[in-house]
Structure 1
Amino acid sequence: MPPFELKHPKGRELVGGDLVAQTLAHLGVTVAFGLHGGHLDSFLTGCAFVGIKLVDTRHETAAVQAAEGYAKVSGKTGLAFVTANSGFANGYPGLATALADRSPIFVVTSSPPLRDAETNALQGFHDQVVLARPVTKFAHRATVVEELPRLVSHAWRIASAGAPGPVLIDFPVDILFTPPRFNAISWGSLDRQISSRPGPAPASVDELARLWKAAKRPVFITGTGAADTGRIGASQPILLQLAEATQTPIFWSSKFSLAIPHNHPLRGGPATGLAYLPYIQQERPDLLILLGARTGFLLGGRNGAIIPHKDCTLVQVDVDGGEIGRTLPVDLGIVSDVSEFVNTMAKKVALDAAFTTSRDRDWIKMTSSLKGLIHRRYGSDPKQGCPDDTGDRMHPYHGIKAVFEVVADHEPIVIGDGGECGVWAGDLIECAKPAHFLAATGYLGFLGNGWGYSLGAAVAHPDKLIVNVQGDGSAGFHIAELDTYARHRLKILTVVVNNYRWGMSIAGQDILYGESTPGRLLSSLSPVCRFDKVAEGFGGLGVRIDKADEVQAAVKQIVEDMAANNDFTPGLVNLIVDTDPVTETTKSMVGMPAPGREKEVVVVPYYDNIPRARYD
């Protein structure tokens, strides 16, 4: 029997595009992001017929990244559609970031009729499946209309099974417009429940229990793989229950912060805070449990800043066994879905009171205080601002902090984009009391993702305030999506942290080459660009702020105006800040050697320095 009854539209035939749309609707899809193209007309018509909301963007990259942002905050697979060849090529960066950051998205594209292969047909030059395979978990071209439900359900499962990621199906236009033979439709396993959540091996659970009970200073670090253990709306995150039972603080990588109460003593904050322990004369963790968090540059790479090299037992839990031990030696690797692991460990802990007996109680208090270190470092710095470039501009710490303190009343979802400003946003994020925080740049260091991520987050949670933090560099990539925000009446506040520079680039060049050397290249941006006026031109609200003591009143006003008349108008804050000081992250990424050791290494910006060859 078919898993669902096909709905037949009045006045026209049911065609392949309807089959695809109705299959996706049966799988639970309610919204799709994309840009129109004639190849997709029958699919888009089919979506409208079954009630799938279509959110049209101004660029295909933003559409695919919106599907990714939707997936990140909703826990569902995101759906995007891009037209043949030109749209596919524009959407390609979205596939690349989704694969690198393990985001489950399904991308629908099309191509010329099958009979027109290799004829130089319109939008038929590139073989999209061949190009998509290196940046997807699954890519396929449909060739038989009756096979569409089977292929769609197959790809849909692949997107979220195991380590999640993007999938793509190319539906040639003739397949989408052809009526199926109803008695020949292949439904596959469309309506069967197929488990894709492996649990931990019992022996691994027992070994971790032994290590955990002996630890005095344990911590969790979570990544996107742990997102289901603490999303918006959960009565109490299951990970928090385990943390309370074991008295283990929770830190997170910049890819995704869990929805944990902000005043909870076990809310450790961003994992970067652990790097400060040696500098404040505090002991480091003796047990560190990575939950769906991959080792690599987001967690300090191999330099030991966040994950200690010595006197610390490293446990890594990941659904992808290939990630375990990829960068650092792991003492115990557990291949498991993180939610299944947490549930299993919680049951074991509940039967054993010995998990908290050896804890250092001061450890909990100290780790909770790490969130405030940035205030001790910058809180007393000058915060003046001048309306032009003739004097000192606003300190970025004070500007961003003031913005975040205003939006904190809304417990927003905050998306951090850009280089230096993205670091400032991550360091100050606890001031915003966010429901979630996502660093948009990801493993590719991809600027501009925040525009699409914010769109997806706003559609997933339409009543939440979304704060889209951009640098004036990253803002230029997809600023036309301000039009998308306005047309769809989305509750998005964009904050452009504007220092008229590629901030991380100029900071790194100054450190390496000095301010007056030829090495200071291609790092300046326009001081006359009025991002606030651009926002108004696209139908939104805009305000420019030059002085720190004016930030809170101006941001409060624009947030109130955004929600006037029981409707939403997106807003933008053009926050004029100084290029100083440089964030500690940039200083560490440039990696200048200690005085007297300059001849021992070759300095490689943004990576660990390379030992210089010796020939003596």
Structure 2
Amino acid sequence: MVQFKPEIPKNREFHGGDLLAQTLRHLGVEVAFGLHGGHLDAFLLGAEESGIKLVDTRHETVAVQAAEGYAKVTGKVGTCFVTANSGFCNGLAGIATAFADRSPVFCITSSPPLQDAETNALQGFHDQVVVSKPITKFCHRVTNVEEIPRIVAYAFRAADSGIKGPVLIDFPIDVLFTPPQMARIAYGALSVPPAYNAAPDPAALDVLLKHWNKAKRPVIITGTGARGTDKELVKLAEATHTPVFYSNKFSSPIPPNHELRGGAATRLAVFAGGNSQPDFVLLLGARTGFLLGGRGGAILPNKDCIFAQVDLDGSEIGKSHPIEIGIVSDVGLFCEALLGRNSNISVARNEDWIRDCKDHKGTISEYVDQGKVMPDGQLHPYLATNEVMHALPKDSIIIVDGGEAGQWSALTLEAAEPKLAMVAPGYLGHLGNGWGYALGAAVADPSRLVVNMHGDGSAGFHIQELDTYARFGLNILTVVANNYVWGMSVNGQDLLYEGKAKARPAIQLSKRCKYEVVAQGFDCAGEIVTEFDQIKPTVEKLSKSGKPGLINLIVSAKPTTPATMSMVGMTDDKNVIVVPYYDNVPRPFYRNGEDKTNGHA
């Protein structure tokens, strides 16, 4: 790397904010997302003069989420800034999501002068390092201006090495406004090249191929750890004749029309429990857990299947599902190493299995038979969303947010043939992330349309970011699938309490809210769609408008999505307690419909 040398401004004093900004620019930072606060002025001025583009949002949570979205699209560390305490607290939700979803984010915050510690100073109540510790890979308070480059370089490496994740550095305002002593500046690893990633053990590859070569119905499931492995993964899939599915968090690097692209891993549920389920599953940078159906066998087979898992985090292997072959490795290096053993690969091509996995992507025929309009007069949510996907420009970036609206989008997004797709709520189930992800994605790749899919529930979290989209002229189309309720909540309650309770508490949203008018008020294009035949021309019109747009798509709250039905887990079995959204648990002292407590509590 090029040696770092600070540049001294000609017309003013050089201070800590300049040193921070120039350090980040040296590390490759081109854009930072955030919200202004006076504590950060020294840094913001330095960033502007260093050539770092500042994208100011309307809420700190979105600033962090935008940095995360930027990181997901570019593969680089996303950078954000939030002001002291109040701004920091608003940003915590974004930091927590980035930590759960392994996203490399560098978060800058500030605090009162060091001399004002524990004096009830303005925006100085919470110790931001202490609060951040459990939800970051590294956090630190810089107390010496000359140490800025060293600490920043260390934090950057922590965010982007091994298991990626967010880091947070607190720069007290007096440190940012203090001129450094140039001879005492500590550079640390600032000009040290990135460390090499871990490669797989050759012996592990031999064991893996021994089982893979015997498989008749193999599949690969990718997660965010497979980002950037497009060429290697395609070659590996083709060499092993193995269909590739993806965890909902991040779509597959396999091209949309490739015969081995199987779509979202949730679609494997159609094979669950049958004689044609996978007999070999390779998890590539994908974690087990609720995004892959939990431990109940809804997606991943519970028997008669060999599991292999490749992950940089050894503790993740076997965390919630039995794994026969665990390999600690970077996914790209794993693919390259396995392809280097090409002469040992002898997986038989199963034409029927490849066809079943490919054909399975777009077949939900029961919804087609239900008609485009439901009995309540509103559009069928699956068919309407499917029509949106077909009308979008190919190679768009699609961000999916919301509960049931998000599930319908995930079921249909393969029809759009996206360049990249991701489900924003992640492991936290955090609604509203899509606003920031879409912002970060649009800044990262202005060459293509970014589609921001929402339900009317998730849309309400950060709809004010339409202002940000408009101010920066971003190519983002927001689609609000509006059914006037919290869809997953009301449908979950219907499944739980049908015939048992009349109330459906805390699930109503307003039919009077005109999202398209809100969009227009923020200087975006806005349209409402109530008829099926309006969907295609409206999507095409707003996709080509040259400005951010929003479609208020009025749909029915019914039918319930397959995912909600599966997650609620309703059953007539009296021996279990239904625990909605998790696996059901055995009912204590109750067997075969009879009380076994013998009269005792």
1:363 pairs with 2:341: no
Structure 1 counterpart SS, 2:126 = coil
Tell me the amino acid that sits aligned with residue 471 of structure 2: R
1:516, distance to aligned residue in structure 2 (A) = 7.8
The corresponding residue for 1:234 is: none
The corresponding residue for 2:119 is: 119
1:303 pairs with 2:296: yes
1:9, distance to aligned residue in structure 2 (A) = 1.3
1:282, distance to aligned residue in structure 2 (A) = 5.4
Choose 547-556 or 510-519, whichever is displaced more: 510-519
The corresponding residue for 1:161 is: 161
Q: How does 1:15-414 map to 2 (within 5 A)?
A: 15-230=15-230, 237-278=231-272, 283-349=276-342, 351-352=343-344, 354-356=345-347, 358-374=348-364, 376-384=365-373, 391-407=376-392, 409-414=393-398
1:10 pairs with 2:3: no
- Cα distance in 2 between the residues matched to 1:2 and 1:520: 62
Structure 2 counterpart SS, 1:480 = helix
1:534 pairs with 2:531: no
> C-alpha offsets along residues 349-406 of structure 1, whole Å, 9 cap, x if unaligned?
2x33x423x33221111111110222x2212221137xxxx94210011211111111
Structure 2 counterpart SS, 1:198 = coil
Choose 255-264 or 571-580, whichever is displaced more: 255-264
Structure 2's unaligned 5+ residue stretches are 590-595
**Alignment check: 8 A CA contact 1:256 1:438 kept:** yes
Q: How does 1:454-469 map to 2 (within 5 A)?
A: 454-469=438-453
RMSD: 1.4
1:193, distance to aligned residue in structure 2 (A) = 1.6
**Alignment check: 8 A CA contact 1:258 1:435 kept:** no
- Cα distance in 2 between the residues matched to 1:103 and 1:4: 26
> C-alpha offsets along residues 80-124 of structure 1, whole Å, 9 cap, x if unaligned?
000000000000000100000010000000000000001111100
> C-alpha offsets along residues 101-160 of structure 1, whole Å, 9 cap, x if unaligned?
010000000000000001111100110000000110101000001110000000000001
1:560, distance to aligned residue in structure 2 (A) = 2.2
1:573 pairs with 2:551: yes
The corresponding residue for 2:592 is: none
1:607 pairs with 2:598: no
- Cα distance in 1 between the residues matched to 2:428 and 2:291: 11
Choose 509-518 or 163-172, whichever is displaced more: 509-518
Choose 397-406 or 62-71, whichever is displaced more: 397-406
Tell me the amino acid that sits aligned with residue 559 of structure 1: S
The corresponding residue for 2:531 is: 547
**Alignment check: 8 A CA contact 1:254 1:439 kept:** yes
1:466, distance to aligned residue in structure 2 (A) = 0.4
Structure 2 counterpart SS, 1:255 = coil
- Cα distance in 2 between the residues matched to 1:391 and 1:152: 57
- Cα distance in 1 between the residues matched to 2:504 and 2:498: 8
1:195, distance to aligned residue in structure 2 (A) = 1.6
- Cα distance in 2 between the residues matched to 1:515 and 1:184: 74
**Alignment check: 8 A CA contact 1:410 1:465 kept:** no
Structure 2 counterpart SS, 1:605 = coil
**Alignment check: 8 A CA contact 1:485 1:570 kept:** yes
**Alignment check: 8 A CA contact 1:217 1:359 kept:** no
1:306, distance to aligned residue in structure 2 (A) = 1.2
Structure 2 counterpart SS, 1:443 = helix
- Cα distance in 2 between the residues matched to 1:72 and 1:506: 32
> C-alpha offsets along residues 49-70 of structure 1, whole Å, 9 cap, x if unaligned?
1100000000000000000010
- Cα distance in 1 between the residues matched to 2:555 and 2:549: 19
- Cα distance in 2 between the residues matched to 1:274 and 1:391: 32
**Alignment check: 8 A CA contact 1:199 1:340 kept:** yes
Tell me the amino acid that sits aligned with residue 493 of structure 2: Q
> C-alpha offsets along residues 454-487 of structure 1, whole Å, 9 cap, x if unaligned?
0000000011100000110000100000000000
CA distance 1:516–1:327, shift in 2 (3 Å): closer
- Cα distance in 2 between the residues matched to 1:14 and 1:379: 66
**Alignment check: 8 A CA contact 2:233 2:254 kept:** no
1:170, distance to aligned residue in structure 2 (A) = 0.1
**Alignment check: 8 A CA contact 2:233 2:253 kept:** no
> Under a length normalisation based on structure 2, what TM-score does the superposition of the two structures give?
0.96
Q: Identity over aligned residues, as a percent?
A: 56
- Cα distance in 2 between the residues matched to 1:248 and 1:505: 37
Choose 237-246 or 485-494, whichever is displaced more: 237-246
Q: Size of the alignment, in residue pairs?
A: 591
- Cα distance in 2 between the residues matched to 1:15 and 1:244: 55
**Alignment check: 8 A CA contact 1:509 1:519 kept:** no
> Under a length normalisation based on structure 1, what TM-score does the superposition of the two structures give?
0.94
1:519, distance to aligned residue in structure 2 (A) = 4.4
> C-alpha offsets along residues 580-609 of structure 1, whole Å, 9 cap, x if unaligned?
11000000111011x3x2x21111111111
CA distance 1:25–1:198, shift in 2 (3 Å): same
- Cα distance in 2 between the residues matched to 1:586 and 1:465: 30
